[in-house]
């Protein structure tokens, strides 16, 4: 197991942990918890939960907290019942600010008007119309409506500071109303609010000035400014820079950077985005303004954040999802325990994906996030401490072991393999998911810190576990065996195959080093199953070496990201040729023909994450994947994989097809490994048995559910 860090925090993170004068007050470090809606902002009854959530981050030592966005008026709400600041009804906010201040924190209220992103029929925007991400058509604001909106921002800001907030952040990024006024794409007005670039700046500047006057000199005013809209006909750099300078003149204390509109077809925060991908444009801004600048987007790693501050690219670092994952991050940095930080893997599965369907957010690697009052890990009295065995070192087993040990129980972890990690070992090998490796390193170090006894290469049996008080079975899953003629994956993936395609399970393929796997699968591969694992395998076989996540110039070229000084919106213009792209094949020795097959007739990857699925589907299209939908599998023989596919014309009879392949990779689901549960049931007066993760339910390999089960089980011991 790795040794614990002993580095001095002052030498490791001197910039990140240093205080900074922001004008109205000084923050104790350069870490900002960026705005992130968690689903507790919309109803006053949830205020105690929201207060506990934010106060825990304040106790963890973050320098400044920004709330989730609250609308200044009814039309600006994100949803029909979304958060709105209503002067005279601020008791819930008083509770939040009190708890954060009692935890020695600083907090500012973000004011966000959704504009045409509003998910309700009262939506308004500069010029009317519907955005690609909502079903409602917005109506254009009248000039009176514009003035009323500016006044609403001022009233809401005043109510915020009266409720105890240390200041206000005006949301002018991500494609919301103020950003819509700035971009020619969404502002086609012919009056004083839209004819020229100067006119388009009028409303954001008026809002900033009105908010400044409303909160007075003692309140902090930050403005979230879009540096790259990443949409056609977005802002150009001269316009962005002019806005920034005029915001300074209107009294803005801090410029917080935003990247990309929600409708942009460029990923900005997914795990496949290279860390620090947008630091360059932040540096360009900081060089031209005198107020502090906050860098954001894929800056979860503290070492990268420190380097961004050290080279002068920014003055502060915004971390939103990373502080969901680990609210104690600043304290751990101060104590020199940075390798015990719970790493955000930018999966979005439990946070953004939840919020966008109206559910409360949490965090895949920290299920207590936004559930602090309900899921509590309290220390146990000495007389109640139990001897606990955890069998299985995947994500569920690791989290169960650490959580139980941190409560005070004596915990031993048994893992059959020679390393812990389970399915995350496979995930970390997928191009674009390199961050999963950081989570594994964090778990390994935290095992040591929590005092968990670890036995690797040990297959625990009932006799070995008889002396424990509790056994947590987290033995995970095994690939499902297909009832298909000719299907016979070799026990050893290196074994010679007979006539016909080589057949591998996804576990066998992903257990091999990637370079070796690419060399051995041949030129033609068929993948049975197009769920999350099937898509991962397709990317494993087709992504370049190195992956785009580790090659920033190539990633920018792949997604058409350019300097906004070169082209409006910072987005390159691409011609549509109608041909499958071949850039990936030119950059690496990968199979030249990859088929992905599924039984369902829907699109490949349909059930992937709401905020990241489109990225994976785009990568598959870019790689020229050949899709087969609605198939029935028949057999595997010397000719290849035999399937039946729907007819090409409506009502046509299915057709028999042979997919010629050198290798068939089976990603057709999993089955729970539950043999140990049956063994333990035979013991007389044996330990209490708890079954979690894939051993409990194998469907979809749901890491979020598995880790939540692990923490809930540990909390109940």
**Separation CA 287–CA 215 (nearest Å):** 28
Q: Residue 548 carries which DSSP code?
A: G
Q: Which helix (H) or strand (E) holds 210?
A: helix 202-215
Q: Residue 110 carries which DSSP code?
A: E
Phi/psi class of residue 139: alpha, beta or left (left: φ > 0; alpha: ψ in -120 to 50)? beta
- Assess contact for 583 and 622: CB atoms under 8 A: yes
**Separation CA 431–CA 402 (nearest Å):** 28
Catalytic residue among 176, 193, 223, 506: 176
- Assess contact for 691 and 677: CB atoms under 8 A: yes
In this structure, the number of other CB atoms found within 10 A of the CB of residue 336 comes to 18
| Residue with the two structure tokens 């750099």 | 237
Q: Which helix (H) or strand (E) holds 160?
A: helix 143-162
Q: What residues contact residue 21 under an 8 Å CB cut-off, 6+ apart?
A: none
* 176 in catalytic set: yes
Tokens of 429: 């090998």
**Separation CA 144–CA 9 (nearest Å):** 54
Q: Is 380 exposed, middle or buried (0-12, 13-18, 19+ CB in 10 A)?
A: middle
Q: What residues contact residue 334 under an 8 Å CB cut-off, 6+ apart?
A: 9, 17, 61
* The length of the chain, given as a count of residues: 717
Q: Residue 237 carries which DSSP code?
A: H
317-321-322 Cα angle (round to 5): 65
SS3 state at 456: coil
**Separation CA 313–CA 308 (nearest Å):** 5
- Report residue 159 CA to chain centroid gap: 32
Sheet arrangement for strand 688-691: 453-455, 410-414, 387-391, 470-473, 688-691
Catalytic residue numbers, as ranges: 176
């Amino acid at each position: 197991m790795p040794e614990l860090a002993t580095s001095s925090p002052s030498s490791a993170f001197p910039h990140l942990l240093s205080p900074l004068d922001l004008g109205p007050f000084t923050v104790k470090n350069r870490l900002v918890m960026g705005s992130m809606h968690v689903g507790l902002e919309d109803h006053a009854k949830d205020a105690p939960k929201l207060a506990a959530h934010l106060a825990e981050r304040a106790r963890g030592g973050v320098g400044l907290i920004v709330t989730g966005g609250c609308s200044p008026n009814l039309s600006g709400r994100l949803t029909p019942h979304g958060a709105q600041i209503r002067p005279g009804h601020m008791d819930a906010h008083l509770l939040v600010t009190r708890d954060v201040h009692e935890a020695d924190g600083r907090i500012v209220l973000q004011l966000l008007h959704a504009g045409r992103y509003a998910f309700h029929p009262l939506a308004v925007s500069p010029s009317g119309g519907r955005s690609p991400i909502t079903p409602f058509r917005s109506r254009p604001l009248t000039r009176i409506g514009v003035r009323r909106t500016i006044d609403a921002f001022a009233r809401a800001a005043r109510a915020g500071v009266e409720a105890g907030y240390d200041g206000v952040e005006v949301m002018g990024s991500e494609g919301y109303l103020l950003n819509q006024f700035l971009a020619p794409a969404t502002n086609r007005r012919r009056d004083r609010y839209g004819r020229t670039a100067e006119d388009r700046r009028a409303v954001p500047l008026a809002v900033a000035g009105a908010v400044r006057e409303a909160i007075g000199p003692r309140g902090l005013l930050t403005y979230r400014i879009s540096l790259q809209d990443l949409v056609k006909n977005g802002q150009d750099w001269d316009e962005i820079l002019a806005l920034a300078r005029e915001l300074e003149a209107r009294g803005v204390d801090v410029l917080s950077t935003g990247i990309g509109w929600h409708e942009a077809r460029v990923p900005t925060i997914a795990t496949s985005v290279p860390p620090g991908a947008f630091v360059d444009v932040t540096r360009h801004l900081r060089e031209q303004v005198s107020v502090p600048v906050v860098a954001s987007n894929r800056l979860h790693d503290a070492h990268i954040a420190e380097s961004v501050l050290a080279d002068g690219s920014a003055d502060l670092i915004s971390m939103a999802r990373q502080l969901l994952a680990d609210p104690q991050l600043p304290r751990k940095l101060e104590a020199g325990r940075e390798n015990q930080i719970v790493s955000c893997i930018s999966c979005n599965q439990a946070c953004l994906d939840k919020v966008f369907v109206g559910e409360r957010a949490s965090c895949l690697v920290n299920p207590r996030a936004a559930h602090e009052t309900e899921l509590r890990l309290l220390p146990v009295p000495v007389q109640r401490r139990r001897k606990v065995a955890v069998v299985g070192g995947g994500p569920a087993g690791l989290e169960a072991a650490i959580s139980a040990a941190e409560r005070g129980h004596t915990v031993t972890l048994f893992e059959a393999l020679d390393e812990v990690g389970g399915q995350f070992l496979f995930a970390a090998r997928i191009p674009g998911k390199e961050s999963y490796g950081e989570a594994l390193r964090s778990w390994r170090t935290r095992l040591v810190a929590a005092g968990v006894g670890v036995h690797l290469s040990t297959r625990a049996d009932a006799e070995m576990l008889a002396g424990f008080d509790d056994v947590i079975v987290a033995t995970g899953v095994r690939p499902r065996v297909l009832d298909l003629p000719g299907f016979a994956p070799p026990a050893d993936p290196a074994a010679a195959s007979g006539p016909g395609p080589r057949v591998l399970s996804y576990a066998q393929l992903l257990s091999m080093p990637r370079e070796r796997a690419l060399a051995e699968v041949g030129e033609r591969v068929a993948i049975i199953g197009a769920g999350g694992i099937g898509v991962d395998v397709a990317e494993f076989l087709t992504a370049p070496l190195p992956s785009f996540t580790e090659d920033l110039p190539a990633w920018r070229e792949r997604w058409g990201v350019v300097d906004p000084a070169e082209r409006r919106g910072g987005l390159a213009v691409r011609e549509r040729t109608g041909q499958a792209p071949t850039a990936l094949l030119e950059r690496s020795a990968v199979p030249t023909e990859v088929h992905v097959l599924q039984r369902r007739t829907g699109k490949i990857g349909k059930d992937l994450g709401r905020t990241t699925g489109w990225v994976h589907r785009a990568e598959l299209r870019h790689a020229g994947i050949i899709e087969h939908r609605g198939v029935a599998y028949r057999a595997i023989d010397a000719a290849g994989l035999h399937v039946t596919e729907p007819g090409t014309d409506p009502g046509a009879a299915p057709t028999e097809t042979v997919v010629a392949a050198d290798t068939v990779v089976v990603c057709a689901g999993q089955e729970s490994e539950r043999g140990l549960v049956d063994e333990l049931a035979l013991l007389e007066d044996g330990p209490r048995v708890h079954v979690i993760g894939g051993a409990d339910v194998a469907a979809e390999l749901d890491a979020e559910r598995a880790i939540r089960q692990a923490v809930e089980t540990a909390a109940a011991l």
